[in-house]
């Protein structure tokens, strides 16, 4: 027991010395129920700060192009081939058709250095109906993420070193709990940085290209709707007639039988009177 306390005291003294040399804040974990304790890195301590003179800008744009009637498929295919030759990659490609127009749309990723030239190339495909460009300076966000990731990496190294040197079960469990938390936070920060990297390294353009439908084609729809309405009404009328007939036919049969019986009885009565 005395040896364990001595080892624990030496370990705590070593960690305090290391913290002092690195200029890092420390925190202590104390479990009064088990009597165990250890020292680690304070979560809010500014462990490392990275300065950078780089500027990080994200670019996003959207553009809507109108082309002449009957050229939509050709224009879209040609434009897609030109963009592919410029190194663009595509996602979310789709097609919509409305009563008065039809359109293709897609999302493309391109090099930021080609952003302006590719927008100019798209403009040549037809009439520009809508265009917008958004630039965002994410330098501060990017630098903050790098700093936080480095801090978490240092904290992970410290906790792993402490875990490997601990002999007490309670200390091991306590360090392991903190290690799991810090690893999760580290992975989340890495994912955020990867997403920001993808936005910085590749710009995004949302493209919509459409054409109006011919006027004759626009007039077809009302006639089709009138035809459908007429046949629907005719079917409903036939259904009503069948329902009424199904009710009246048995009634008419019964009335006819009653009439025949009445005729026979009346004929017999007249014959009896004549005799």
The pLDDT tens digits of the residues spanning 69-124 come to 999 999 999 999 999 999 999 999 999 999 999 999 999 999 999 999 999 999 99
Q: CA 203 to CA 216: how far, in whole Å?
A: 41
- Quote the tokens at residue 263: 């005729």
Q: CA 12 to CA 37: how far, in whole Å?
A: 9
* Angle, CA 83 vertex, CA 95 and CA 210 arms, to 5°: 30
Q: Nearest to residue 174, comparing CAs of 9, 23, 11, 39?
A: 39
Question: pLDDT tens across 1-37, in order?
Answer: 434 433 444 444 344 434 433 433 333 334 333 333 3
DSSP state of 130: E
Q: Please check whether residue 65 is in contact with residue 128, taking contact to mean a CB–CB distance below 8 angstroms.
A: yes
Q: CA 176 to CA 29: how far, in whole Å?
A: 12
Left if phi > 0, otherwise alpha if psi is -120 to 50, otherwise beta: which for 209?
A: beta
What are the backbone dihedrals phi and psi of residue 165, each rounded to the nearest 5 degrees, phi first?
-95, -15
pTM of the model: 0.56
What are the backbone dihedrals phi and psi of residue 164, each rounded to the nearest 5 degrees, phi first?
-70, -25
The total of other beta-carbon atoms located within 10 Å of residue 72's CB is 21
Contacts of 16 (CB under 8 A, 6+ apart): 26, 39
Q: CA 40 to CA 176: how far, in whole Å?
A: 12
Question: What rounded mean pLDDT belongs to the chain?
Answer: 79
């Amino acid at each position: 027991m005395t040896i364990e306390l001595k080892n624990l005291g030496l370990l705590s003294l070593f960690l305090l010395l290391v913290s002092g040399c690195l200029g890092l804040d420390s925190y202590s974990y104390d479990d009064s129920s088990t009597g165990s304790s250890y020292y680690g890195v304070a979560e809010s301590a500014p462990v490392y700060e990275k300065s950078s003179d780089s500027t990080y800008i994200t670019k996003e744009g959207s553009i809507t192009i109108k082309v002449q009637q009957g050229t939509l498929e050709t224009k879209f295919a040609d434009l897609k081939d030109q963009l592919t030759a410029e190194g663009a990659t595509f996602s979310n490609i789709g097609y919509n058709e409305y009563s008065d127009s039809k359109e293709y749309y897609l999302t493309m990723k391109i090099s930021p250095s080609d952003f302006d030239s590719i927008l100019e190339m798209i403009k040549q495909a037809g009439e520009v109906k809508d265009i917008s460009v958004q630039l965002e300076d994410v330098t501060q966000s990017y630098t903050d993420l790098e700093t936080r990731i480095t801090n978490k990496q240092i904290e992970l190294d410290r906790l792993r070193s402490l875990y490997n040197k601990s002999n007490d079960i309670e200390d091991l469990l306590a360090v392991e709990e903190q290690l799991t938390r810090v690893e999760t936070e580290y992975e989340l920060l890495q994912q955020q940085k990867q997403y920001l990297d993808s936005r910085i390294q590749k710009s995004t353009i949302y493209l919509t290209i459409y054409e109006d439908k011919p006027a004759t084609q626009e007039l077809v729809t009302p006639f089709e709707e009138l035809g459908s309405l007429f046949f629907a009404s005719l079917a409903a009328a036939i259904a009503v007639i069948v329902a009424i007939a199904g009710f009246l036919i048995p009634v008419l049969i019964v009335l006819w039988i009653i009439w025949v019986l009445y005729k026979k009885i009346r004929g017999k009565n007249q014959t009896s009177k004549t005799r």
